[in-house]
Structure 1
Amino acid sequence: MSFALLNLTLNARVADTEQVNRTRAQSSQLASAFRQVLDMEASLRGFVIVGRDEYLGGYRTAQAALPGILGDLRAQVARNPAGLTPEDRRSLARIDRIGALATRWQQEIAQPEINLRRTQPGAAQAIVASGRGKRIVDAIRTEVDAYGSDQTARLRAAETAAALQLRRLRWMLLGLGLFVLLASVALTLTLSQWLTRALGRLSRAAGDIAQGARGVRLPLRGVRDLQQVAGAFNTMSGQLEEAREEAARRAEALARRNADMTWLGELSDWMQAARSLEEGADVLSRALPTLLPGTRGVLKLHNASRNLLLPLVSWGGLEASYQPAEGCWALRRGETRRGGEPSFAPPCLSGADAPCFSCIPLFSHGETLGTLQLSPQEGEALPAAAQQTLPALTRQLSLALAGLRLQERLRQQTIRDPLTGLFNRRHLEEQLVQAVALAHSTAQPLSLIALDVDHFKRLNDTFGHDAGDAVLVRMGIALRDLTAQHGLATRPGGEEFTVILPGMSLDLAETLAETLRAQVAGWTLTHAGTPLGQITLSLGVAELAEHGTPATLTRVADEALYLAKRSGRNRVCRPPTADVALARA
């Protein structure tokens, strides 16, 4: 009778343990399914931010694995030897809802974002900003948490039933012991205590695992059933630890990827806000050491006119010097050159050809922008974090540098006269406003020279417009030489020129104007072998009066120019009178 009762209790305990194993296996399977959902969401977020198809690799993998995981989980729940219980039916319903929510998220959120990101990035961002995808994922998380709560309750119920069975067994064995010999009582009590210790170890181990402990194992000794229970328990504990470690590794990788995307997004925002290469270099000098940790390097720009690579940003103590573009094998081949790799290429002419040296060429729309040259601060290879960030970073650098170069070219086109290379009227007006404001704030003098070429129309009519253009180009060169140390030379239009002279008094401005007049009068110019005759200038000089404005200064200088014209040309004149200039102001 004792053996029969003991065997009945042990079988019930084995059944409870198998139920525990099934429950934990189902929980692990559901956690794996939820990790697939999180992988799809993370991969989709990376694709929406960067727009590159390789970021969808995790999404495709998780999308293909999720139905199989949910199907296996449903089969495990439905394969209950004792038949489906109400708890099993509730679990099956939750699994179906999780699958439906995952399908809905793919159809309503993921696929539209993928399609829109290729053609309408703004629309894809709008779907992300709407929060619908987050709500669906939160609903999936709620179902997973509810499923886990149900499983935890079932585990606790099983442990309670096991404890109750143990108590019943003790009392029944004690009652039977009253009717047997003292030896039988002693043997029965010894066996009862031995079983209690074994099952107690199992209960304590299960409790430890439920509280998150690691490395929990049971000794494989005792009867075969207990050995099987201990072996199954140890297998389950090992699988659970592996699942936890894998989840931690994935979470760490996802956090690192999110951090990289955040830094790259911030770099893109700052580079878009920059308005010149100097401002962009200031941003990159702070960003590159952070985005490429454990490296030292230099970013060089390609100067097409001189065919040189000129350093723009350097960090980590790497020497930044110019080098001939023709000597860069990375630019010649249009591909990254990594130090230490077997290669037939001769050393780089820059001299930076250490075994750990890497050179990445930067291109955009067929234009050569420069190179990014890197080497590790320690060891023989670039750190893993830098290698992971480098592809996306180089693409972003190429786009940003191309945009800044385009801005600079467009800006020069808007402020430069294409014929003489001098600044045009728009830039003259902007700089004159700034110069007047600075002169008033610092109490420094400000003078202006207005000049034009005498009888320029007659020159054009006599020798042709090509000859007139040649004279204007020569005037541009003379004015640039004259104002190389101070002042700003401009061509507002036609044969008229204006020179802004900050910090220069009227007397000094008049001396400078006379120097220019004498220099031009001494020219002997020819065009197409034909002498053009003497070229003369009429110049008017004016100084900013107290409380004067840019318009006042311009009018006074023009008045002095008109006086020089009326006085016979080929001369320098001041305004008619100081009183007239002040009155005009």
Structure 2
Amino acid sequence: MTTPTVVSVGSASGMPYSVPVRLRHLLLLTQLPFWALLLFAFLNLQSGLESRVQTLARSSDTRSQLEAVNALLTHVVNMETGVRGYVIAGQASFLEPYYRGEAAYPPVLKTLSRDAQLPAQERARLGRIGSVIRQWQTEVAQPEIRARPSQPEVAEALVRSGRGKRLLDAVRADVDALSQNLAAQLSVSDARAQRQLQALRRDLMIAAAVLLALSVATTLGAARMLTHPLSDLGRGARRITDTSGSVTVTERGPREYRDLASTFNRMTERIREARQATDQAVSQLERRNTWLSDLARLSDALQAARTLSEASEILTRALPHLLPHTSGQLLQHNASRNLLLQAAQWGEPLGTPGPDTCWALRRGETQGEAAGQPFMPRCSDQTGPYLCAPLFSHGETLGLLRIRPPAGADLSAQRAALDDVTRQVALALASLRLQDRLLQQSIRDPLTGLFNRRHLEAQLSAGVTAANATDAPLSLIALDIDHFKRLNDTFGHDAGDAALIRVSATLRDLAPTGSTPARPGGEEFTLLLPQTDLRAAQALAEQLRSAVEGLHLTHDGLPLGQVTVSLGVASLTAGVSGEGLVAAADQALYAAKRSGRNRVMAAT
């Protein structure tokens, strides 16, 4: 029997020094300066942040006030425009801006007047503005409105008198002065916030510099006391690799270091035994690491896939490599979840079970004779050992992964590998399904199922680029439901939604392959037509108009009457952008509206 060599590390002649405190107490003492400085820095930064938050809050209030002042001026301008248009045209529809402004400006004025942040001088100015607006209504606007139906010359004389202009000029002057004062306050608040931000940055830099200096000082001081015993342990650890015998180190330093040295000395006695066990485990770990690397590459590839078909192609290549010498298949639920459809297959073909007959899907865990459950019923389409693993993710059943292990295989290892692969595949398939759902939600209008404005703009940009590059035609149809507001007011919004759905269904049915039917908003619809010239687009627009005119709409048993649409058609010409194409189609739509509605007009 060979006697192991004993190697001693550390001087035995020197007196081992002792530290009167434990290591944790010593480390706590070195941290006290850091904690004190951090507390001071926190309090200082907290104060600075609080000041900056208050300043930003004042800036936000001032911005709100400025927006309200601008809104007040907009309402006054709308009222003036409505009265002027009524006096000129004599049509009651011109008074709609006046009545909207008349209803909207008092709440804005009242909100501004009650704002405690507004100076008393500005609140007085607001009172003066309100008085002048009411004076203008009483002395100018209302007399002009009353006189216009029967005495238009009286209304015109009131306009020519200039009384209304002088009153509204006074309102504009006060509003401009108020806006300038608020803008000046906002500028002061923003400048103060910027200075506070610079002060915070300066404090952070000072605190970081002090912390760095303190860290260097405490580290150097503690290192002198702690590194000597650690150096002995380090030299002893290096000697372990140089000799097959035991290595001992001198037990000195803090109590914890002495305990560590004693444990180290005992540990070296057992290292040789551990080396033998380690050598045996290395080969197994290498094989496992290689397999996990392949599994990680599969995960990366699945993460890069954009569609389920791409994922199926990747899995068809990867699963035979990750589960070698097996035959298997990957099955997924169809949209109705009443069938399992094959997504990938390798080796010998396996039968396809139904969702209700598969015990793995019923129990939510791996099944089969190879799963260590011989008492469970086996699949009728399987002979010999097999494994069925359900694909679960976030409580949802996605499908099934089935394999048939080779004869003589380690069934427990096969099941462990199958479970690892199943988890990766389930997560990837769930992610792809979620991506597909999110994509559809991001590009579809929830009410009609047509594409939304964002997708339409993307398709329009791509279509214009392609048309300019290939000189191919590109047309666009803009359509709008006639008198939709009257339909909503008469039958309610549910009936309006029903009409939108029926019109959108007609648009979707008649939209050619490759086109983009969309609902940008409200009762407006758009159909983008690549590879379509103006004449073909006009013909399709007329077909749409006729189809909508022929609809018989009812809601809750009530007939909604005839619904018609007006349509504008435009085609892309040289030098015109996508926005220009949309504008041309809108102009044609407005022309169709002006010409009596329920017709198709082409852009000139």
Measure, in 2, the Cα distance between the counterparts of 1:254 and 1:139.
Answer: 29
Measure, in 2, the Cα distance between the counterparts of 1:145 and 1:381.
Answer: 39
1:369 aligns with 2:398: yes
Deviates more, 1:440-449 or 1:363-372: 440-449
Structure 1: 5+ residue stretches without partners: 1-17, 24-76, 78-86, 94-136, 152-239, 578-585
1:485 aligns with 2:517: no
What are the equivalent positions in structure 2 for 1:83-482 lying under 5 Å apart? 87-89=6-8, 142-148=238-244, 249-303=280-334, 305-316=336-347, 318=349, 324-339=354-369, 342-345=374-377, 347=379, 352-376=381-405, 378-379=406-407, 386-482=414-510
Measure, in 1, the Cα distance between the counterparts of 2:408 and 2:564.
Answer: 69
Report the count of equivalent residues. Answer: 361
Measure, in 1, the Cα distance between the counterparts of 2:8 and 2:236.
Answer: 18
TM-score using structure 1 length? 0.55
Measure, in 2, the Cα distance between the counterparts of 1:346 and 1:471.
Answer: 55
For residue 400 of structure 1, what is the amino acid of its counterpart?
A: A
Query: 2:389 touches 2:419 (CA, 8 Å); kept in 1?
Result: no
Measure, in 2, the Cα distance between the counterparts of 1:489 and 1:255.
Answer: 56
Deviates more, 1:282-291 or 1:551-560: 282-291
Give per-residue Cα distances to partners, 1:206-226, cap 9 Å, x unaligned: xxxxxxxxxxxxxxxxxxxxx
SS for the counterpart of 1:301 is strand
Partner of 1:171: none
SS for the counterpart of 1:515 is helix
1:539 aligns with 2:567: yes
What fraction of aligned residue pairs are identical, expressed as a percent? 51
Partner of 1:99: none
SS for the counterpart of 1:314 is strand
Q: Structure 1 residues 509 and 370, CA, compared in 2 at 3 Å: closer, same or farther? A: same
Query: 2:387 touches 2:415 (CA, 8 Å); kept in 1?
Result: no
Measure, in 2, the Cα distance between the counterparts of 1:541 and 1:139.
Answer: 86
Measure, in 1, the Cα distance between the counterparts of 2:448 and 2:410.
Answer: 50
For residue 143 of structure 1, what is the amino acid of its counterpart?
A: R
Measure, in 2, the Cα distance between the counterparts of 1:338 and 1:507.
Answer: 65
For residue 512 of structure 1, what is the amino acid of its counterpart?
A: L
Query: 1:293 touches 1:383 (CA, 8 Å); kept in 2?
Result: no
Q: Structure 1 residues 298 and 468, CA, compared in 2 at 3 Å: closer, same or farther? A: same
Query: 2:368 touches 2:374 (CA, 8 Å); kept in 1?
Result: no
- The alignment yields a C-alpha RMSD, in angstroms, of 3.4
For residue 342 of structure 1, what is the amino acid of its counterpart?
A: P
Partner of 1:22: 3
Give per-residue Cα distances to partners, 1:131-176, cap 9 Å, x unaligned: xxxxxx998873332123999xxxxxxxxxxxxxxxxxxxxxxxxx
Q: Structure 1 residues 88 and 142, CA, compared in 2 at 3 Å: closer, same or farther? A: closer
Measure, in 1, the Cα distance between the counterparts of 2:492 and 2:435.
Answer: 36
Q: CA deviation at 1:530?
A: 0.6
Deviates more, 1:282-291 or 1:472-481: 282-291
Partner of 2:257: none
Q: CA deviation at 1:483?
A: 2.4
SS for the counterpart of 1:370 is strand
The higher relative CO (CA closer than 8 Å, separation ≥ 6) is in 2
Q: Which has the larger radius of gyration?
A: 1
SS for the counterpart of 2:472 is coil
For residue 566 of structure 1, what is the amino acid of its counterpart?
A: R
Query: 1:363 touches 1:369 (CA, 8 Å); kept in 2?
Result: yes
For residue 339 of structure 2, what is the amino acid of its counterpart?
A: L
Structure 2: 5+ residue stretches without partners: 13-232, 248-271
Partner of 1:28: none
For residue 407 of structure 1, what is the amino acid of its counterpart?
A: Q
Q: Structure 1 residues 386 and 449, CA, compared in 2 at 3 Å: closer, same or farther? A: farther
Measure, in 2, the Cα distance between the counterparts of 1:385 and 1:270.
Answer: 24
Q: CA deviation at 1:303?
A: 3.4
Q: CA deviation at 1:427?
A: 0.8
